[in-house]
């Protein structure tokens, strides 16, 4: 299949006009100008005035389409995957919230099978080893210190499918847990933390390489105690997640971080829960009741934000529209932050449009709204 479009953003450059040749689920070749066919062999799909970008990679998502990964059933996982896929997410990691030991093992075991079946690309444990002072939408009574025996049980249940674990390094045993995770090939992330600057620095030195939803559920920056935010931002080994949904962060913070750390250390995420793509109403996030009003999810009866209702096309669009950079540059930056960077941070196969890469792409109209999705060379959403 040969696809042509007015603009193709590969992750490294803009091709105008551009073409992509796809075969057997992979990109065979791509370029700008006239495609390598004669006049009597037109493109299979000439998409015209659209922008093609790589498929989105969401490294932090709890559900969507009414399905929540904490339920850990095939039906709910499939509902979430299909909802996000229609919005351009071609690769996603299933994030689990804090649960009791037996329940966590049950969920991890079921999701491990779904990873092996190719439904999701891995498992992310957000908890239970989080700070009680920055717990956000996590069940306070289930939070605990990381225990080496429990950690070993969880890793065994995951059968190599656990990609990332978010923890608060200041908890007793936190640094040792980071070392154990890294030794097992798991990405250690700092999040839901009340750590001091020095404690966060120690966690990074122990092997932590991701900051979970930067600013949210973290000790804030103070002029005498800069806390984890500054420690994460100043270390070039760290990739920081940002929820650019217009609710979790002011756009000025996105602009400032992108300007100061560069475009390659930020991963845009949704942190979406079951209500993504659904109407306002009552939902669940793990053990907690959640109310969604005007598209904003909060723990029932509180002002605490409980994940988001966003999809990756929304956070991508927000990043482009609220960038301080010229439009073309903002587009390329957002492409890296929504596909290339998260894939790299998790050790997944390289994302972006390049020869031999998976043929995962998203077709966007002039308003950056999804009008087509190709996954592994097959149309999930037909363009137009």
Give the catalytic positions in this structure: 271
- Which residues make Cβ contacts (< 8 Å) with residue 31, sequence separation at least 6? 15, 18, 19
Q: In sequence order, what DSSP letters do the residues of 72-92 get, joined into one string?
A: --HHHHHHHHHHHHHTTEEEE
User: What's the first-to-final CA gap in the chain, in angstroms?
Assistant: 17
Residues annotated as binding site for substrate? 137, 216-217, 224, 248, 305-307
Residues annotated as binding site? 126, 137, 192, 213, 216-217, 224, 248, 305-307
Residues 20/277, Cβ–Cβ less than 8 Å: no
Residues 58/88, Cβ–Cβ less than 8 Å: no
Q: Specify the length of the chain in residues.
A: 384
Residue showing tokens 């990691």: 93
User: Measuring CA to CA, which residue among 251, 267, 239 is closest to residue 318?
Assistant: 251
Please tell me what DSSP assigns to residue 149: H
Q: Which helix (H) or strand (E) holds 242?
A: strand 239-242
Residues 29/36, Cβ–Cβ less than 8 Å: yes
Residue showing tokens 């979790």: 248
């Amino acid at each position: 299949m040969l696809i042509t479009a007015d603009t193709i953003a590969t992750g490294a450059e803009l091709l105008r006009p551009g073409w992509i040749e796809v075969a057997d689920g992979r990109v065979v070749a791509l370029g700008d100008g006239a495609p390598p066919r004669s006049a009597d062999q037109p493109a299979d799909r000439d998409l015209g005035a659209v922008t093609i970008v790589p498929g989105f990679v969401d490294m932090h998502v709890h559900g969507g389409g009414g399905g929540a990964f904490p339920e850990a059933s095939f039906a709910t996982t499939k509902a979430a995957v299909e909802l996000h896929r229609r919005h351009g997410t071609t690769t996603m990691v299933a994030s689990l919230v804090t649960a009791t030991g037996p329940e966590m093992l049950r969920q991890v075991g079921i999701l491990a099978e779904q990873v092996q079946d190719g439904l999701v690309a891995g498992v992310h444990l957000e908890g239970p080893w989080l700070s009680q002072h920055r717990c956000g939408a996590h069940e306070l009574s289930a939070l605990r210190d990381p225990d080496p025996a429990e950690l070993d049980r969880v890793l065994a249940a995951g059968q190599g499918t656990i990609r990332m674990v978010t923890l608060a390094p200041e908890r007793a045993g936190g640094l040792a847990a980071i070392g154990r995770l890294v030794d097992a090939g798991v990405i250690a992330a700092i999040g839901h933390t009340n750590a001091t600057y020095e404690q966060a620095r120690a966690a990074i030195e122990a092997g932590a390489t991701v900051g979970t939803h930067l600013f949210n559920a973290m000790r804030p920056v103070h002029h005498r105690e800069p806390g984890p935010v500054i420690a994460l931002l100043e270390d070039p080994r760290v990739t920081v997640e940002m929820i650019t949904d217009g609710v979790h962060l002011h756009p000025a913070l996105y602009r400032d971080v992108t300007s100061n750390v560069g475009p390659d250390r930020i991963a845009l995420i949704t942190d979406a829960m079951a209500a993504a793509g659904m109407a306002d109403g009552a939902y669940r996030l793990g053990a907690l009741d959640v109310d969604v009003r005007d598209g904003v999810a909060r723990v029932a009866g509180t002002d605490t934000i409980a994940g988001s209702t966003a999809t990756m096309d929304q956070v991508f669009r927000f990043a482009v529209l609220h960038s301080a950079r010229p439009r073309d540059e903002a587009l390329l930056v957002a492409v890296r932050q929504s596909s290339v960077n998260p894939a790299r941070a998790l050790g997944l196969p390289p994302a972006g449009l390049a020869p031999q890469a998976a043929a995962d792409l998203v077709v966007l109209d002039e308003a950056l709204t999804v009008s087509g999705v190709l996954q592994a060379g097959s149309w999930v959403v037909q363009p137009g």
